[in-house]
Structure 1
Amino acid sequence: MNKERSLTVFIAASLDGYIATKDESLEWLFKVEGEGDNGYSEFYETVDTILMGKRTYDWVMEQEGGEFPYKNKDCYVFTRSAAEDTANVKFINGDDIKGFTNTLKNQEGKRIWMVGGGDVLQHFFTEKLVDELIITVAPVVLGNGIPLFKEGDYQLDLRLKGTRTFNQFVELHYISER
């Protein structure tokens, strides 16, 4: 039997646990002095499938001027509304996110990267679909915004796999203890 693929949340957060401001800005993140790309390229090479919510997809497309940045990966976008697939993205409209994700995890391949955003992440945490969390913490306190972990009826039991620093950033790497 094949080993199940790992589903990994690789994300940056403020020291107080926000992934963006209330108006979905990441400007605060880019003001922090990092080191190179803060481990992004290294992580990206371990991934062949990308998952994200529609709001995150729209944000990425706006930031990239309409040019999709993950062309060499399988990309699935979860949405509640009708959307037409593109050459680079398959839109998943349905309630069975867990079943879809488990099907992906049981296929051969590299890591699956759950990019975000907050609503989809909450669903993945609640359904215990996340195998690894790699959180790059920025030395910024936002006070409010879009939280990495929303209040809910779930508990994640994690084990620290390692830490790294990238100048002012600290990377925390956790493995799920399901």
Structure 2
Amino acid sequence: MLSKRKLVLYIATSLDGYIATEDDSLEWLFKVEGEGDNGYSEFYNTVDTILIGRRTYDWIIEKEKGKFPYKNKKCYVFSKSESGKNEDVEFINRDVVEFTNEIKRLDGGNIWLVGGGVLLNSFIKERLVDEFIITISPTLIGHGISLFKKSDFELELKLNGIRRFNQFVELHYEVK
């Protein structure tokens, strides 16, 4: 029997809870001494599908200078203005809950929710995220783009594990 696919948020944050500066910079993250790839390859190999918000997708295309980093995965970008597909992604302009539940029922590996912000908040509110793998950088930014937005809901988690990658700490939670 196949196990149920999980939707996983895998992301890095500053110690004070920001995923980027207000101008979308991650320079603070790359200044910290890690260990190898900080568990990225191990996680990436568990995933065959990636969900991305449009703003994060545009940022990736700009920063990677058009070289899409997830070519060997099925990638969906949630967008209100774009539709269709290109060689790397399919743009989705559908109900997030309905679409996500459809792909979670398909056979395959885990699903990675890339990015944060508004899309993440809607996924959490609708209880679509099954696991949170959050890597904390020993950096205080002071302000920027928050990992979690203010919300009107509660979500209880269970700690599955803690790992250290030199100066980074990875916390792995599952939804109760």
- Same fold by TM-score greater than 0.5: yes
- Given that residues 61 and 68 in structure 1 are in contact (C-alpha distance below 8 angstroms), is that contact kept between their aligned partners in structure 2? yes
Shift of 1:116: 1.6
Alignment of 1:42-53 (within 5 A): 42-53=42-53
Alignment of 1:6-155 (within 5 A): 6-94=6-94, 96-155=95-154
> Alignment RMSD, CA only?
1.1
- Given that residues 2 and 106 in structure 1 are in contact (C-alpha distance below 8 angstroms), is that contact kept between their aligned partners in structure 2? no
TM-score by length of 2: 0.97
SS, match of residue 160 in structure 1: strand
Shift of 1:2: 5.0
TM-score by length of 1: 0.96
Identity over the aligned pairs, expressed in percent?
A: 61
* Distance (Å, rounded) in 1 between the aligned partners of 2:16 and 2:83: 34
Q: Which residue of 2 aligns with 1:168?
A: 167
* Distance (Å, rounded) in 2 between the aligned partners of 1:82 and 1:162: 38
C-alpha offsets along residues 18-50 of structure 1, whole Å, 9 cap, x if unaligned? 111111111100001101111001100000000
* Distance (Å, rounded) in 2 between the aligned partners of 1:143 and 1:45: 33
* Distance (Å, rounded) in 2 between the aligned partners of 1:149 and 1:102: 22
- Given that residues 55 and 117 in structure 1 are in contact (C-alpha distance below 8 angstroms), is that contact kept between their aligned partners in structure 2? no
SS, match of residue 55 in structure 2: helix
Shift of 1:65: 0.9
Where in structure 1 are there 5+ consecutive unaligned residues? none
* Distance (Å, rounded) in 2 between the aligned partners of 1:48 and 1:88: 13
C-alpha offsets along residues 61-117 of structure 1, whole Å, 9 cap, x if unaligned? 1111101111110000001112441011000013x1001000111110000000123
**Stretches of 4+ moved more than 4 A in 1?**
none
